[in-house]
Structure 1
Amino acid sequence: MVKKLFIDDNNMNTTQEQLDLSDLFNHDKDSIDKYKKGINTATENVLSFLHNRTQPFSGVAHEELQKVVDKIDFKEAPTSSHLVFEELQEIYLKHAVAFHLPKYIAHLNCPIVIPSLIGEQILSAINSSLDTWDQSAGGTLIEQKLIDWTGQQIGYPTPDGVFTSGGTQSNLMAILLMRDSFYQKKQQYDVTKFGVNTDKGKLKIFCSECSHFSVKKSAALLGLGEDAVISIPVDDNFKMDCEALESAILKEFIDGNCPIGVVATAGTTDYGSIDPLKSIGVITERYQLWFHVDAAVGGGLLLSNEHKYLLDGIEKSDSTTIDYHKTYFQTVSCSGFIVKEPHNLNLISHHAEYLNPKACKDAGVPNQVDKSLQTTKRFDALKLWLTFRLMGTEKLGSYYDQTLALTKVAADCIQNRKDFELLNPPSLHCLVFRFAPINLNADQLNQLNILIRKKLFSNGQAVVAGTKFKGNNYLKFTILNPTMSKENFEEILSILAMIGEQLLEEEKQFI
């Protein structure tokens, strides 16, 4: 029972009658006992999730779960731990998508390594905020060390940067620096104070037609508009066409606009393709444009002794996005934004007297908030630090290389079947394909593949993704699990084919 807090108006002394504070995490015995018991219960539930899940999804419909959630009333008195975890099982754990199972092969969700989970437990309990030194101390140095390691692997001599929530935030930072650097260097204009100015021409950014949606989203958020982003065609391997890129840049100059930068993709979301980084670097240098590489997907190549060469040319870039929670087997979220020239981060610095006064920077105090869009920021770097220290980068790299090898195996499995068509060659982790039996027209194939994925998701046997290419519907494998096998791929393809054949028998539109 919670006792009342009262104030003695006569002497203004505040006293307290045994207020129950045992739910606060501290050194009190009751608090420690609750913490241990709660963590043990949580661990048991996680282990139950691992042991009892045989397929990646339950197949539950969102309407069904919504009815359960709607019954919850937070005004009710707190209930027992046992009942709460039963409720959690019913709403969440029974239906959470199991990324660790080999038949989950849909999106860019990797299984996670145990050191990352250990780090998650520590950082959540200590709850450091990685914005200022006086809130994080050694945590700041750990983050900076990992940013430096990543930058050195990219090929930046003196890198800097911050951990972010993900590739979208990192790409937003890149477009922000791209914009502000242009205004500062080329027009001597303070965009931070006065806002976007188009008097001397509209700002233009270039990326491939297969680039991530966050490029256009960032342009919109920064006041440039989605039309500021020029999509460049790709070749047959889904890589940016550099001749088309240079032509587009020249056209914008002729039209009186202001090209400011190019975003190259190292690992497109659908095809895993890597734009020709070396050639793009030459073009951006020629026209003095900011060069950003979105390596949210392909950043894992930095771990690979065998395949790192695929990123040749990334060292020419001004900034890079890396998602550790995609290809470094880290828990969400864990991402990085790295710049070649540290001084460029000054463009986003803002000093608040209560938090990071300019005197701190002048004194060399390392405050990560000086170079971050976030103020309060999780200590996600701890997870990667423990992974490197407990596993080593070589072992982590071997996990990554295994996923690349498995992607080639999966591609062979698709190509060896006459009832499937593979769209793209095996590049990194992504394979786009479709179920394509004979005697169906384009519209029927599109409808059939939509229905196959929908029916598969509703039975939960496996989870695959879907996408479109030139208006046609395709299925997609994303292979980030080193425990997968050829047998898994063959079984998933057989399930897809079986569902397809059933639909052909049942659905009249295919007759």
Structure 2
Amino acid sequence: MSDNNPILSGSAQSIAAYQDAIEQSSKAVIEWLKQPEMYQGKTVDQLRERIQLNFTSQGLGNQAAIERAVEYFLKDSLSVHHAQCVAHLHCPSLVISQAAEVLINATNQSMDSWDQSPSATIIEIKLIEWLREQIGYSAGDAGVFTSGGTQSNLMGLMLARDAFFARQGHSVQQHGLTGDLSKIKVFCSESAHFSVQKNMALMGLGYQSVTLVKTDAFSRMDLADLKTKLAQAKANGEQVMAIVATAGTTDAGAIDPLEDITALAAQENIWVHVDAAWGGALLLSEKYRHYLNGLESADSVTLDFHKQFFQTISCGAFLLKDARHYELMRYQAAYLNSDFDEEHGVPNLVSKSLQTTRRFDALKLWMGLEALGKKLYAEIIDSGVTLSQKVAEYVSSQPHLELVMQPQLASVLFRFCPKSDDRAFIALLNQRIGDVLLASGSANVGVTEADGVTCLKLTLLNPTVCLEDVKVLLASVKETAEKLLNA
């Protein structure tokens, strides 16, 4: 290969090129962080027109490639760290998480087999053991890091399905699905994540297999309706494969009654998977940990660290209460997880994952815990929950705003209410408020529905944001609404 070898290696030339590229990229990020605007405000059509692929035969070189990335990507990226960026479960990241990404990317370990990731494999196993302890599971290492909640939920539902058939003496892994599949059901609340239905379709059981349970005034699963629907299913000859409980619904941050749900499921011998992608952050909380009571009784759990754990995307985990259920998805490849390795205690994590090649995302959580310590980590997690309560109180005091639901985690649902009884008009006005704020580049506010009411959503994950910052945003909401009304 020529002297312009682009591969990262230990050669002096490669190291120098790496240092230059990292320094140039870091300087660009620092300048981007300093910009006061949350977003430059370009529309979809403007970006489609602006971003064109024009790859050359000879290439531009590292410096020019980075300059083009800055011009066409970085400058038009959303500033997730901005105080007015509150639309989604999209957190600002820890500085130490950025440092971890440098190490992850440079070493490029692959987590499928120990011989591709020796120390990384052991660190991930140790973290899984620690996470199990936080949940209240028995000692062990049944679990794996994932790309996020959708994949973790898929693993929980897949193992629930296979365990369901195994109890009937049938192996899905060996023989596929069998019997009257229309009679197999999964229960979740009306506010559960869409990945429940998506994953049931992927698993061959379809949307029809999902029974939606009503929610209460706080968007939590209604236990009485769950009992009623379980009885109806039994009367109809249907079999309930699993109940998916949620600890932190996407909009309201609602946490289902985990203790009651797991107790009821135990009586019926039904698998419980808890989607704690958001609310699982309270495992570290000193003030709100009790919200998760009952999590320890779930058969499987989803956690996301790229939400209120403030890690860069992507970083999630799947935890399995009983390690024996991993046998249901066991597959061996001689070159990755051989019998010889297992007999000699060599851990190859491909046996626990739906993925084969997989990043060492666990390093980010490990370094975050090392750098912050459990106390500071708990404080920044708690801050969003506490702030949402203060914001809700302030919203309730404003005559032009209506609090749609009392907050439970770090989100506030509200709407601007003009003097009108026209529900469709009010809904459209709030939708337009969100659109105009984003188009202006000044704020990114969520627009969603709660009990059929179109409303605005503030997802207050950012621990650097205070009540005064939110008051500024709410003033912008009012100003935007008044301009729309007077247009």
Q: Residue 482 of structure 1: CA displacement?
A: 0.8
The answer to whether the Cα contact below 8 Å between 1:208 and 1:234 also exists between their aligned partners in 2 is: yes
| Identity between Structure 1 and Structure 2 (%) | 38
Paired residue for 1:255? 236
TM-score (norm 1): 0.93
* Equivalent residue number for residue 58 of structure 1: 40
Which residue does the alignment assign to 1:95?
76
Are 1:26 and 2:31 an aligned pair? no
Q: Distance in 2 between matches of 1:86 and 1:372?
A: 37
Cα distance in 1 between the residues matched to 2:82 and 2:221: 34
Unmatched 5+ residue regions in structure 1? 1-17, 507-511
Q: For residues 404 and 90 of structure 2, what CA distance do their matches in structure 1 show?
A: 22
Within-5 A mapping of 1:99-138: 99-138=80-119
Q: Which residue of 1 aligns with 2:477?
A: 496
The residue that corresponds to 2:156 in the other structure is: 174
Instruction: Give the equivalent residue in structure 2 for 1:11.
Output: none
Task: Tell me the CA shift for residue 20 of structure 1.
Answer: 3.2
After TM superposition, list the pairs within 5 Å mapping 1:353-392 onto structure 2.
353-392=334-373
Is the Cα contact below 8 Å between 1:201 and 1:256 reproduced in 2?
no
Q: Hey, what does 1:35 align to over in structure 2?
A: 18
From 200, 212, 220, the counterpart of 1:231: 212
- Bigger Rg over Cα: 1
RMSD over aligned CA atoms reads: 1.4
* Alpha-carbon distance between aligned partners in 1 of 2:360 and 2:181, rounded to the nearest angstrom: 42
For 2:468 and 2:57, how far apart are their aligned partners in 1? 50
Flag the 1:219–1:35 CA change in 2: closer, same or farther, 3 A: same
Measured after TM superposition, the shift of residue 257 of structure 1 is 1.5
C-alpha contact 2:181 2:205 (8 A) present in aligned 1 = no
CA distance in 2, matches of 1:239, 1:104: 26
CA distance in 2, matches of 1:116, 1:43: 14
User: Quick check: 354-363 or 132-141, which moved more?
Assistant: 354-363
**TM-score for both structures, normalised by structure 2:** 0.97
What letter corresponds to residue 315 of structure 1 in structure 2? E
**Contact 1:203/1:257 (CA < 8 Å) preserved in 2?**
yes
The 5 Å alignment of 1:68-217 reads: 68-70=50-52, 72-159=53-140, 160-185=142-167, 187-199=168-180, 202-217=183-198
Distance in 2 (CA, whole Å) between partners of 1:244 and 1:439 is: 35
What amino acid maps onto 1:227 in structure 2? Q
> Aligned-pair distance for 1:21?
5.5
Question: Which one is further off, 194-203 or 368-377?
Answer: 194-203
CA displacement at 1:22 relative to structure 2: 2.6
1:49 to 28, 32, 44: 32
For structure 2, the residue ranges without an aligned partner over 5 or more in a row are: none
Please name the residue that 1:329 is paired with: 310
The question of 1:352 aligning with 2:333 is answered yes
What is the rounded CA distance, in whole Å, between the counterparts of 2:179 and 2:91 in structure 1? 43
**Amino acid of the residue matched to residue 176 of structure 1?**
M
Contact 2:248–2:278, Cα closer than 8 Å, also in 1: yes
Are the structure 2 counterparts of residues 449 and 76 from structure 1 closer, same or farther at C-alpha, using a change threshold of 3 Å? farther
**CA distance in structure 1 between the partners assigned to 2:454 and 2:23 by the alignment:** 46
CA contact (8 A) 2:336 2:348 kept: no
**Distance in 2 (alpha carbons) for counterparts of 1:200 and 1:468:** 32
Are the equivalent residues in 1 in contact too, given 2:8–2:18 (CA < 8 A)?
yes
Name the SS of the counterpart of 1:481 in structure 2: coil
Tell me which amino acid in the other structure corresponds to 1:283: L
Structure 2 distance, partners of 1:366, 1:355, is: 10
Matched to 1:39, the amino acid is I
